[in-house]
Copies of this chain bind each other. A is one copy, B any other.
Amino acid sequence: VTVRHAVGVDVGGTKCLAVVVEIDDATGRLGVVAEHRVDTPATGTADVVAAVAGLIRDLAVPGSVAPGAVAPGAAGRVAVGIGLPGLVDRAGTLWAAPNLRIDGPMTIGPLLADELGRDLGVDLDVVVDNDATCATVAEWQMGAGRHDGVPVDDLVVVTLGTGIGGGVVAGGRLQRGHNGFAGEIGHMVVDPAGPVCPCGRRGCWERYSSGSGLAHLAGGRRGEDVVAAARAGDAEALAVIAEFGRWTGIGLANLTNLLDPDLLVIAGGLVSSADVLAPAIDAGFAEALYAPDRRPHPGLRMAELGEPSGAIGAALLAAGI
């Protein structure tokens, strides 16, 4: 058998999205064969775990909602990856997650095994990682982080959503750091006198270059409204977008100076506004790059996999890819 499956679940602040990824080890082909989602409960750890367990049950039990039922791997085990929105250590414990209602640190692997052990006819091998790390793996292996289909060796993925997350591939390997907390790039301080961040400090990059940052730059207008106005040619909105591009460019240039990636990939919810944002980001990046005439620029691209990237990457990590 060269075809196997892995389940990935991306637990977000408002919804949980799950996919089944099919892996053909003979050809190297990867594909998504099922997708499913539920709202994320705001009522504590037990309900979050139950929601995730429900998604896995639906997708991993043959004959359930998944059109391509999961073929268990060796010894009847199913690989499951979970992406979580916060600081996840290398043992899979979530330590801090401002957008998730949980009761203190959460180690979801054993909780899922308990929840599912009773009614699922297979054993689970669960891996857990940060959601932006998962999205990074997905874009690296199946999306924009490739040249001609080949994953690059040096890649930084920046997820622009409500906040900013990220992931780092260096020297051909996903880098998690010593504790598993690498890629917390949204809290890179770019202006120590700037607005207060929920993290307690001032001027974190995500106060400027995320969805909430865009709203801040627009004096409290909704980011979506600014994008729509800019799309219609409104001069004031276009000035806000240019400012957004400058701040985004500063952060991207900082990442370039530190890591010298081959590619930078922008992922996350703001990618859906790329028609308006991408030109401003390109301009801001070109302006901010150090010694731009003396060094090759890294490629700067928009993500290709869209919303399911976190779930896809979680599945790929679970499959050992």
Contacts and interface: CB of A to CB of B under 8 A. Distances in A.
A175 B182 contact: no
A152 B247 CA distance: 34
Nearest to A178: B262
A193 B255 CA distance: 19
A177 B294 contact: no
Residue of A190, A193, A261 ringed by the most chain B CB atoms within 10 A: A190
Interface stretch (A49-57, A65-73, A165-173): A165-173
B258 A184 contact: yes
Contacts of A96: 291, 294-295
Contacts of A10: none
A175 B183 contact: no
A171 B176 CA distance: 8
B189 A250 contact: yes
B290 A199 contact: yes
Number of copies of chain A assembled together: 2
A190 B187 contact: no
A219 to B, nearest CB: 19
A87 B188 contact: no
Contacts of A259: 168, 175, 177, 182, 258
Contacts of A192: 190-191, 246-247, 250
A231 interface: no
A201 interface: yes
Contacts of A107: none
Contacts of A294: 87, 95-96
Interface string A154-182: 10000000000010101101011111111
29 contacts: A96-B294, A153-B178, A154-B175, A154-B178, A166-B258, A168-B170, A168-B258, A170-B175, A170-B177, A170-B182, A171-B171, A173-B173, A176-B260, A177-B260, A177-B261, A178-B262, A178-B296, A178-B298, A180-B260, A183-B260, A188-B257, A190-B190, A190-B192, A191-B192, A192-B247, A199-B291, A201-B290, A255-B258, A258-B259
